[in-house]
Copies of this chain bind each other. A is one copy, B any other.
């Protein structure tokens, strides 16, 4: 458990991270789930641009830094036990590396229900 600069105490896990849900503030669409370190939360709070901590690369990461698909954070909410945050964002382009608006573009039964908003081959090398 450690703290970041906020009025609400956050409960970072054994891995030093909290879970983040990013939601489109206008449409309400749930865009993605990722994780954040205290530094990522602080950078998000300070800059108004969504930052995360990549578990696979073990590093701070600004969403859209290379793709341009940044998330402008309108509000950060905290859940009751402080181990999950909700970033309410305005998303440029799409949130998913597959080109979809949301990472949740499929049902459990395999049906594609989400919209593809960009061509990933044109965005990622």
Residues of chain A having any CB pair with chain B under 8 Å? 6-8, 19, 21, 23, 27-30, 32-33, 41, 45, 75-81, 84-86, 96-98, 100, 103-110, 113
Contact = CB atoms under 8 A, between A and B. Distances in A.
Contacts of A23: 28, 30
Given A32-B79, A80-B98, A108 B8 contact: yes
Contacts of A96: 80
30 contacts: A7-B108, A7-B109, A7-B110, A8-B106, A8-B107, A8-B108, A19-B33, A21-B21, A21-B30, A21-B33, A23-B30, A27-B28, A30-B30, A30-B86, A33-B33, A33-B84, A45-B108, A76-B108, A77-B104, A77-B105, A77-B106, A77-B113, A78-B104, A78-B106, A78-B107, A78-B108, A79-B103, A80-B100, A80-B103, A80-B105
Given A28-B28, A30-B21, A33-B21, A110 B8 contact: yes
A10 to B, nearest CB: 8
